[in-house]
Amino acid sequence: MTSPTSRPVAVVTGASSGIGAATARRLAADGFHVVAAARRADRLAALASTTPHVTVVTCDITRDDDVARLATVARDIGGPVTVLVNNAGGAHGLDPVESANLADWQLMYDVNVLGTVRVTQALLDDLVAGRGTIVVISSTAGFTVYEGGGGYTAAKHAQTAVAGTLRLELNGRPVRVVEIDPGMVRTDEFSLVRFRGDAEKAAAVYAGVAEPLVADDIADIVSWTVSRPHHVNIDRLVVRPLAQAAQHKVHRTP
């Protein structure tokens, strides 16, 4: 069992890299004890070695037993559980619907949607007791579709629907539900995973874009939303880089 702490507890999923790791670091700096959850134990260990006030849990959010263990660790920290950042997700492939790889679609739904629901269910009583905040990291893909993005946009539309429904169902209980919808964010892995390790295709996504968003930008927004007075709920926040006016409108320099 982790030694008890007076710090409020924040749980961050998908914390081994990118937005999740940046958010874990930021919330720890903000005064939380962070429970950082992800599948890759080595990445989590590296995060914990450089970030005080972080407890790591190797966890696959598509597995009930893993999520139950995550919830137990969060409770055992000793402080009130006041923040849950449902960040784990990801895109796989860019196949058109007519030739969709259904295994990819299933994986995206299982992680982005059912994973969010599973972790939220496991920690909801704690968040009610702690007057907490649930943050859902969705995407501009949660309200805009594009060619080749059917599986990812369908999953993100569903995740957005979960966030909105949860906010309605929790009305009257002291839990805020915040949805953050990033546009173009350059991280080490998102596009690389989508293109199955093809670094050239991954780099092309950001080619000519002088300043795409980075993970720390989103972590800063998470920090801001959870630090508002508790009666203030940031229902939905859409954030894009200046160069991106819409999903298909991106300024690129030669």
In whole angstroms, what is the distance from residue 134 CA to residue 84 CA? 5
Is 152 known to be catalytic? Answer: yes
Whether 75 is in a domain gets the answer: yes
Whether 2 is in a domain gets the answer: no
Active-site residue (options: 109, 146, 152, 206): 152
Task: Please report which confidence band the pLDDT of residue 4 belongs to, taking 50, 70 and 90 as the band edges.
Answer: low
Domain residues for 216?
A: 9-250
Model pLDDT for residues 48-78, shown as the tens digit of each residue = 999 999 999 999 999 999 999 999 999 999 9
Q: Degrees (nearest 5) of the Cα angle 74, 227, 119?
A: 30
Whether 3 is in a domain gets the answer: no
Task: Please report which confidence band the pLDDT of residue 1 belongs to, taking 50, 70 and 90 as the band edges.
Answer: very low
Count of domains for the chain: 1
Q: Tokens 């007057």 map to which residue?
A: 131
H-run or E-run covering 152: helix 150-169
Q: Percentage of residues in the chain with pLDDT exceeding 70?
A: 97
Asked if 42 contacts 35 with a C-beta cutoff of 8 angstroms, the reply is no
Whether 94 is in a domain gets the answer: yes
Supply the CATH number for residue 236's domain. 3.40.50.720
